[in-house]
Chain A
Amino acid sequence: MIRYRSAAVAACVLLLCSCSDGGSANSDTDTTTTTAETEATKTAITREQASVLADVLVKNNDLGGADVTATVPYGVATFTMTGTIDWANHLGRVTVSTEVSTEVNAKATTSFDIAFTGDTVYEQVDGLADALAATDRTPAGWVVRSLDPSTSPLDVVLSLLNTSTSIQRDNPVLLISNGTTYLGSATLDGVNDGVETDRFESGRTNFWVGHDDGRLYRESADLDATDSTAVIDFSNHGPRTIELPAATDTVAIDEVADLYRRLRGA
């Protein structure tokens, strides 16, 4: 399909990650890891900083991939993704764990696997193969559907992962013109313990970029759907090989909608 997208749009991929409303998307909701902020002042980025930030997504493409840990608070639930992403080929595979804490049920955790491409999501569904076989249909362990960020915070995060790479540098001029700011240096804890980073804010997305190597170590984005902040940590950068579920083990979600809802408990 021929798609006539602006070259300039592609050139400002970082800016695509969230709306720019002039609001503050700061670290108050960064709950998954602690970060030692050595400086809290927000300043306009310099030309040199813009050049560094412009390199981040294309550097991801060049590096090939990384391990991923993402956390999104969602009402009384928190879902966490752990897995890998292949930036070069726009593939990912993660385990999604949902933890719900209520007064009645102190803690309940469910988990399932997801594989994804730039526009397709494969969800592993426990019990699906048996349920299909029980109705004389071809067994399959995965449902396949279109990636649609308008439907769930899960897909929003998958889209963030997909757009954390680019074949082209960002445009430093636009990064500056559109008000990208520098939030100071930060030493990461948690997944990337001890890594020295520089933190930038572009719209409602923050980027923690390695001070010494220019790599993207953390990204956070405010999500309208959940009124919360998704935090994604990238580690062990390097090429990844990710296999999607075999076609024979997948079924379109439309064909098993009722089963899917029942098995997911939705």
Chain B
Amino acid sequence: MAVVTTAACGTDDGGDAPATTTGDITTGDTTTGDGRSDTPTEVADALRVPGDFATIQEAVDSADPGSLILIAPGTYNESVSVETPDLTIRGEDRNTVILDGGDELENGIQAFSNGTTVENLTVHNYRGNGVLFSGSYGDDRVLDGFRASYVTVYNNGLYGVYAFAATNGQIDHIYGSGHPDAAVYVGQCQPCNTTVTDSVGELNAVGFQGTNAGGGLIVATSQWSRNRVGVQSISSTKEKIYPQRDADFVANLVDANNGDGAPQATEGFGAGITVSGGQANRIERNVVTGHVGVGIIVTSADEFQPSDNEVRTNTLGTNGLDLVFATADGQPLGNCFVGNTFASSSPVDIEAVFPCDPSASGGTGTLPRTAPPPNVDYRTIAAPPPQDQMPAADRAPTTPARSPLSLDLATLVAPVPT
């Protein structure tokens, strides 16, 4: 379907081009050498909207690095752009502090500065993204430090929470629905040093997607259900720093991503977890059920062959095929499947032909063919029910967004169906 002239495309600045960073941070009592703030801000010192400022943007524009902007319940029809480091934008109530783009505005909150935190609010009906963290918006900078926590995003025109060219991030307790692309997207980062945890994505084209994203990227303890595709990790020349490599997908509940009632981005549907052209990823202890196509698939993408991916100890059932490995030549290339609970695979007996040792003989599978469900206008998907509040939103001081969560992967357990 893509035009022929793209068949062997690349970008001069793509591939293994090194990521640029913002430089070392020198910590101090209040601000760092580059103007960042490490000092927590108390709620008593918050800039209040609409108490002190009529709009969120006015508060942001007046804030010093490290400030807390506290938003009272209400509907705010604005697109907020953040270019001051270490701001925390917090809603007093997750379900009643609402940024509404009216299907006219581009992004709900777009952060181009390091250390931005967005928490405890709802963002919907923006034509672009709900919350965007991006270092590269016209240059090759990488944003350093971000957090989206207890945020509800729905019916935005692209992604719910979108981290692009950003590192040292924490995304947790997100609820995302009604996106014609991914509820949560992490792209073009190596290392990402980003955790995605305790989140829910449903009725999107994709629940979670990572493109050319790896190196400390962990997607865990989240539920990706009733999307067209649950979790997708892909290498692509359309973004820099390809191929995708070194991400962990651990203890997620991935269920019934068959596309019924979900908006469409591409032809893909009916798949739980897909690794397309990725390298050295670990897919472990996920519960993957109810897909008309395939539960977990490792395959190629464009010119990228998957290699050294490990699919371990996942529990699969009631999928068209539970486990699939599908490339043109079926060479193992270090990919392996071991210890999974499954009923079907292609090639058959996949753990015998792709064991995690040098004896792997390889082989290639085939995919079931099923007609895709019809597209759904993302703007028509019902608003989600109220979601859990951030603990102590009315009194918790800010925490600088500097790093991902520290996780012990061995102890993580997949959520139970809700």
Which residue numbers of A lie inside 8 Å of B, CB to CB?
1-12, 15-22, 44, 47, 51, 54, 118-119, 149-150, 155-156, 159-160, 162-163, 167-169, 171-174, 176-179, 203-204, 221-225
Contacts and interface: CB of A to CB of B under 8 A. Distances in A.
B67 interface: no
B181 A11 contact: yes
A150 B299 CA distance: 24
B238 A18 contact: no
B188 to A, nearest CB: 7
B4 interface: yes
B72 interface: no
Nearest to A203: B9
B268 A4 contact: yes
With a 10 A CB-CB cut-off, give which of B2, B10, B293 has the most chain A CB atoms.
B2
Contacts of B269: 2
Nearest to A118: B1
B117 interface: no
A20 B268 contact: no
Contact of A8 (B5, B185, B369): B185
Contacts of A167: 180, 264, 375
Chain A facing B: main interface SS: loop
A171 B134 CA distance: 13
Contacts of B211: 6, 8
Contacts of A173: 132, 134, 136-137, 162, 164
Interface stretch (B15-23, B94-102, B228-236): B228-236
Interface of B: 1-12, 106, 127-128, 132, 134, 136-138, 157-158, 162, 164-165, 180-182, 185, 187-188, 205-206, 209, 211, 229, 232, 234, 236, 238-240, 264-271, 274, 276, 293-294, 297, 299, 301, 367-370, 372, 375
Interface majority SS (helix, strand, loop, mixed), chain B: loop
15 contacts: A5-B267, A7-B232, A8-B236, A10-B266, A16-B3, A17-B3, A20-B9, A155-B4, A174-B239, A176-B136, A177-B136, A177-B137, A177-B188, A178-B11, A225-B4
A182 to B, nearest CB: 12
Contacts of B162: 173
B305 to A, nearest CB: 15
Nearest to A51: B106
B238 A178 contact: yes
A4 B270 CA distance: 9
Given A2-B269, A20-B11, A177-B136, A7 B5 contact: no
A172 B266 CA distance: 18
A158 to B, nearest CB: 10
Nearest 8 A/B pairs, CB to CB = A149-B4, A7-B265, A5-B266, A19-B9, A3-B267, A10-B266, A159-B3, A7-B181
Contacts of B274: 4
B266 to A, nearest CB: 4
Contacts of A160: 3
A22 B12 contact: yes
B245 to A, nearest CB: 16
A7 B238 contact: no
A169 B1 contact: no
| Central interface residue in B4, B299, B370, by most chain A CB within 10 Å | B4
A118 B134 CA distance: 35
Nearest to A3: B267
Given A177-B188, A178-B11, A9 B3 contact: no
Given A2-B372, A9-B2, A162-B1, 18 more contacts: A2-B269, A4-B268, A4-B276, A6-B211, A6-B276, A7-B205, A10-B266, A15-B238, A17-B6, A47-B137, A167-B264, A173-B134, A173-B164, A177-B136, A177-B138, A177-B188, A178-B11, A225-B4
A159 to B, nearest CB: 5
B396 to A, nearest CB: 31
Contact of B209 (A1, A8, A19, A22): A8
Nearest to B277: A6
Contacts of B185: 8
A224 B5 CA distance: 7
Given A4-B274, A8-B209, A149-B3, A177 B106 contact: no
Given A22-B12, A177-B239, A44 B4 contact: no
B268 A2 contact: yes
A3 B238 contact: no
B136 to A, nearest CB: 5
B232 to A, nearest CB: 7
A262 to B, nearest CB: 27
A88 B62 CA distance: 46
A2 B137 contact: no
Contacts of A44: 138
Contacts of B236: 6, 8-9
Contacts of B4: 149-150, 155-156, 159, 225
A51 B5 contact: no
B5 A223 contact: yes
A7 to B, nearest CB: 4
Nearest to B132: A173
A81 B301 CA distance: 34
Contacts of A20: 9, 11-12
A203 B375 CA distance: 30
B345 to A, nearest CB: 16
A263 B116 CA distance: 67
A6 B106 contact: no
Contact of B6 (A19, A171, A174): A19
Contact of A2 (B2, B165, B187, B369): B369
A12 B301 CA distance: 16
A116 to B, nearest CB: 13
Contacts of B369: 1-2
A52 B271 CA distance: 33
A155 B3 CA distance: 9
A55 to B, nearest CB: 8
A59 to B, nearest CB: 12
A21 B274 CA distance: 30
Contacts of B370: 2
B3 A156 contact: yes
A172 B7 CA distance: 23
